[in-house]
Structure 1
């Protein structure tokens, strides 16, 4: 049976893009760079385009040829090579979870921090089970009840990164005040419980939560929701954009920097953390019978 070509997952794309960047920084074209490790240019091209495997030792050889000296970079890229095809817990749901979503979960599992602007929904990492089921049901126009329940399970399972013993994921979430006014006719207590969940999460040392007030001045978040995913060892960030058709990733350094600047401006426009908590608490109190 012939070998199958590796799927260009986000991990492979991050690795390939990083190797391409270091090659360019070293002033080497594909032919010259490949020759330094005894390869032909097409092999290196496939690696940079995320359609070929590369072993950890080969990553090390390339980085040395490119004159990279930072040990953190060696560690980060060697680990990416090791984990590029690694199966995660989410593979159990492979018939339910779309490939792009699986890619995002793998990014989240590798990440050090996530910055999220949510103008329409509470971010998945901060949702309750009931809120997850209700919102997934509303968005997923063709999913069966069983699939919706499975997707809600996945969303809750993702939240383990917030309390993982190896270093909890840091999340900075900015949520529109309009999201907090949403009500659910079938389960009237859904939003009250979700507001309580936000207050509980906001007490975690790795969670920063702000609310964008209804009377906020115009800001870059008006263009829509996005998530900035950051990694240890100074690895490049990745941006996630979502819509009805699925997920789109922004991985170019200059493009990602635009979203980072936009997030900083959104932070400056939103309510301060303490005021945000006070607003959520006031609204949670108002939903009680």
Structure 2
């Protein structure tokens, strides 16, 4: 399926363009369709799922006809579609719902992982350990059990025959410093090795902590890059911050993160060396646990 979120972004831009072409303010359009200004603002900022009947009313008021009308209605239908993640509500966490939505329509995903292993490939034991860390920072805004279920669904989609290609750069510092039980970390590493070995569409590369990253600033946060099969759906970058995820679709902004990802890839280990590295860390963690050191 297409990503409803991406289609909402496209619909939002289209509605704003059509309104401005008629020299109407959001207040004026709201009065014409008997809605609040905030409703128009939320539609034009992709903050709500569109109602098809309301979109038809807006287009009628704006005197949109012909191919433009048909194009906008198709966008509205796609933008209003519901995915499996909608059945979870906020129980899976609002941030994870965003990622599930984007993944549903992506053709390729590339991610730089600075703070944890890729969420879409985490095992339940690792997720439990991450929840424990999260609880130290305050009240959870999701149900851990439902969140684990949702991540399992995301992994199933990634590994399905029609799933996207996936490439991840893992920061070595994260692998070393992440404070979770050694047995869990070893199991997570072995899961990554198993998945990458079995699925050619998935590539993992470790970014060593002692390499120079030339050509620009260092990355300030984890981020992901999404490309979609339809050229009209914009390439998208999502930046993971402490409190929220920043979604970027402006070409210039996405290009900066793409260029940064390429620079990281130039100095990351090869896929084969990465598998050897991850295996070595997993074996060392297991040996240390068994010896009690």
TM-score range, shorter chain: 0.7 to 0.9
Tell me, yes or no, if the aligned pair for 2:52 and 2:73 is still in contact at 8 Å. no
Is 1:207 aligned with 2:207?
no
Q: Distance in 1 between matches of 2:227 and 2:174?
A: 25
Match for 1:267 among 265, 271, 286?
A: 265
Aligned structure 1 segments of 4 or more residues deviating by more than 6 angstroms: 40-43, 55-58
Match of 1:30 in 2: 21
Which 10-residue stretch deviates more, 263-272 or 237-246? 237-246
Once the two structures are TM-superposed, the CA of residue 63 in structure 1 deviates from its matched residue by: 9.3
Match for 1:123 among 113, 118, 129?
A: 118
Match of 1:243 in 2: 241
Match of 1:232 in 2: 229
Q: Which runs of 5+ in 1 are unaligned?
A: 1-7, 33-39, 67-73
Tell me, yes or no, if the aligned pair for 2:5 and 2:102 is still in contact at 8 Å. no
Tell me, yes or no, if the aligned pair for 2:92 and 2:143 is still in contact at 8 Å. no
Tell me, yes or no, if the aligned pair for 1:180 and 1:195 is still in contact at 8 Å. no
Is 1:157 aligned with 2:135?
no
TM-score with structure 2 length normalisation? 0.73
Once the two structures are TM-superposed, the CA of residue 194 in structure 1 deviates from its matched residue by: 0.8
Q: Distance in 2 between matches of 1:99 and 1:62?
A: 36
Q: Which has the higher helix share?
A: 2
Tell me, yes or no, if the aligned pair for 1:250 and 1:256 is still in contact at 8 Å. yes
Tell me, yes or no, if the aligned pair for 2:228 and 2:234 is still in contact at 8 Å. yes
CA displacement 1:77-120 (0-9 Å, x = unmatched): 87653331222222232142444432331111111111100012
SS of the residue corresponding to residue 219 of structure 2 reads: helix
Which 10-residue stretch deviates more, 192-201 or 85-94? 85-94
- Matched residue count: 258
Q: Distance in 2 between matches of 1:99 and 1:145?
A: 8
Is 1:102 aligned with 2:97?
yes
Once the two structures are TM-superposed, the CA of residue 53 in structure 1 deviates from its matched residue by: 4.7
Match of 1:70 in 2: none
